[in-house]
């Protein structure tokens, strides 16, 4: 039987890292085994579900490249894929429970009678977990009063208003859609015995369960929308690459068990399995996520880099059509971790006036004989017959020799004079791109500034 996994988001907010990571593991597992990944929308709560939220989630999954074989927009043999449209199916399954005497009415709602015995979940990640629902459910913790109260252990599966409830529809759809592996966050582990009881009452063989550890924020508490790195659409805006985000998410709870950490999606698909999934929660580390992105950035082809950096360049006023852009981008590869950091590295090439960094200027001003160095440099470059990297280096070297200093002594003044900063792209290639007249103009301007 072919593996069928599903991601079942509830469209009540953004796509956050935890959900995306769950989707990724489902996707990877299905693809690894040549199976199908299904997207199902759990929108039974009409009050909280919104179309906007659904769109954000769909966009996020699409951006990550986690394409679904069945679900919204692509259809499939087991639709509809929105639970809000599956009422008839649920009615049919409810009738089964009624026929079996498993349910009863309570104040207009329908409750499922939980069995009074130990139910054992056999989980791919957590192992065997046993619980007695009757015992567990017969007391409820009141968060207001901090007291335990008597409670009805039987679970509500249908509201008085006719709407069905998560536990029931989740199980029915997993049966109906032929889901073979339920991969979800560990927050659902405690719900699983309920689901198992439902599968049994419906006469269905339950799928295999895998409850993956949760991703927490750096404080060790639940990720909230406000935590850095929590929302997928923000990764896109910050200049992350989809595959880098996937790579990092995969690493949060899974390991290839060798020392590799940078993987393409194809490699991930190839390597992912549950023996590599660990069972303790992890804390999100934004720095490492950025590092992973930097690694992916460096592996990009020239064409990919240009295409992906384009929006970020134009956003910061660098004309994408400028024919110096492709060459300039090559200078940014090792100096940026995020696409959004790229413009700053090369911005000076495209600006008509140099914006001088005070600290950088101070560093140069403090040097001995700075005006002499600058004029030698300027003259040397002005007299250079050609303007490629070799000739420029030769010109600077000769200028240095002329005034009895080492070439290195002229490089920093040159960099600050031309680029305004001590950091940024490689100096000589920048001089090439800027052109001889502009370089001379900037150096003269800098010399005047220092006077």
Partner RNA sequence: GACCCGUUCGUCUAGCGGUUAGGACACCGCCCUUUCACGGCGGUAACACGGGUUCAAGUCCCGUACGGGUCGCCA
Find the binder of RNA among 48, 117, 225, 315 (CB under 7 A).
Answer: 48
Alpha carbons 298 and 302: distance in angstroms, whole number = 10
Residues 331-390 that bind RNA (CB under 7 A): 334-335
Pairing mode of beta strands 127-132, 139-142: unpaired
Q: Nearer to RNA by C-beta: 190 or 371?
A: 190
Stretch touching RNA by CB under 7 A, among 26-34, 172-180, 239-247, 407-415: 407-415
What are the residues whose beta carbons fall under 8 Å from the beta carbon of 182, sequence distance 6 or more? Answer: 5, 6, 174, 207, 208, 209, 210
Write down the least CB distance from residue 272 to RNA, Å. 13
Residues 260-299 that bind RNA (CB under 7 A): 261, 275-276, 278-283, 285, 287-288, 291
Alpha carbons 312 and 236: distance in angstroms, whole number = 11
Alpha carbons 364 and 446: distance in angstroms, whole number = 11
Q: Nearer to RNA by C-beta: 242 or 253?
A: 253
Indicate whether 189 belongs to the interface with RNA (CB under 7 A). yes
Write down the least CB distance from residue 146 to RNA, Å. 7
Nearest Cα to Cα of residue 284 among 251, 241, 254, 239: 251
Find the binder of RNA among 52, 77, 107, 144 (CB under 7 A).
Answer: 107
Indicate whether 73 belongs to the interface with RNA (CB under 7 A). no
Indicate whether 134 belongs to the interface with RNA (CB under 7 A). no
Catalytic residue among 96, 225, 283, 406: 225
Q: In this structure, what are the phi and psi dihedrals at residue 216, rounded to the nearest 5 degrees?
A: -110, 165
Residues 411-440 that bind RNA (CB under 7 A): 411-412, 415, 422-424, 426-428
- The per-type count for the chain, helices as H runs and strands as E runs, is 19, 13
Is 406 one of the catalytic residues? no
Residues 222-241 that bind RNA (CB under 7 A): 222
Alpha carbons 31 and 266: distance in angstroms, whole number = 10
Residues 6-45 that bind RNA (CB under 7 A): 8-10, 12, 42, 44-45
Alpha carbons 133 and 333: distance in angstroms, whole number = 56
Q: Nearer to RNA by C-beta: 77 or 107?
A: 107
Q: Could you tell me where the beta strands, DSSP code E, fall in 288-401?
A: none
Active-site residue list? 225
């Amino acid at each position: 039987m072919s593996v069928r996994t599903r991601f079942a988001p509830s469209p009540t907010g953004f796509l956050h890292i935890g959900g995306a990571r769950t989707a990724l593991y489902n996707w990877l597992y299905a693809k690894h085994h040549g199976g199908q990944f299904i997207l199902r929308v759990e929108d039974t709560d009409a009050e909280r579900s919104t179309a906007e939220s659904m769109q954000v989630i769909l966009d996020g999954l699409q951006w990550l490249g986690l394409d679904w074989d069945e679900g919204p927009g692509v259809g499939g043999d087991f639709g509809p894929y929105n639970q809000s449209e599956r009422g008839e199916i649920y009615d049919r399954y409810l009738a089964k429970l009624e026929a079996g005497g498993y349910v009863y009415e309570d104040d207009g709602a329908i409750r499922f009678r939980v069995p009074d015995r130990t139910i054992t979940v056999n989980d791919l990640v957590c192992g065997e977990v046993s619980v007695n629902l009757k015992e567990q459910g017969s007391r409820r913790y009141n968060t207001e009063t901090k007291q335990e109260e008597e409670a009805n252990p039987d679970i509500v599966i249908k509201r008085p208003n006719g709407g069905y409830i998560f536990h029931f529809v989740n199980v029915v759809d997993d049966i109906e859609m032929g889901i073979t592996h339920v991969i979800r966050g560990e927050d659902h582990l405690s719900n699983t015995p309920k689901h198992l009881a439902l599968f049994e009452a419906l006469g269905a063989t339950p799928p295999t369960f895998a409850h993956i550890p949760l991703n927490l924020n750096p404080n060790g508490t639940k990720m909230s929308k406000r935590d850095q790195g929590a929302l997928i659409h923000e990764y896109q805006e910050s200049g992350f690459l989809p595959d880098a985000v996937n790579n990092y998410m995969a690493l949060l709870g899974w390991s290839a068990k060798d020392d590799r950490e940078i993987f393409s999606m194809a490699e991930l698909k190839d390597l992912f399995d549950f023996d590599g999934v660990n069972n303790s929660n992890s804390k999100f580390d934004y720095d490492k996520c950025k590092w992973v992105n930097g690694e992916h950035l460096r592996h990009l082809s020239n064409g990919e880099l240009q295409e992906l950096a384009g929006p970020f360049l134009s956003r910061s006023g660098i004309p994408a059509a400028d024919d110096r852009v492709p060459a300039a981008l090559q200078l940014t590869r090792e100096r940026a971790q995020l696409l959004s950091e790229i413009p700053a590295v090369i911005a000076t090439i495209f600006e008509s006036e140099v914006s001088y960094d005070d600290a950088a200027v101070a560093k140069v001003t403090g040097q001995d004989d700075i005006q002499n160095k600058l004029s030698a440099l300027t003259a040397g470059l002005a007299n250079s017959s050609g303007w490629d990297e070799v000739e420029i280096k030769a010109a600077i070297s000769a200028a240095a020799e002329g005034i009895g200093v080492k070439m290195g002594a002229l490089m920093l003044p040159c960099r600050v004079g031309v680029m305004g900063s001590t950091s940024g792209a490689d100096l000589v290639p920048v001089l090439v791109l800027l052109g001889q007249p502009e370089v001379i103009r900037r150096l003269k301007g800098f010399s005047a500034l220092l006077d």
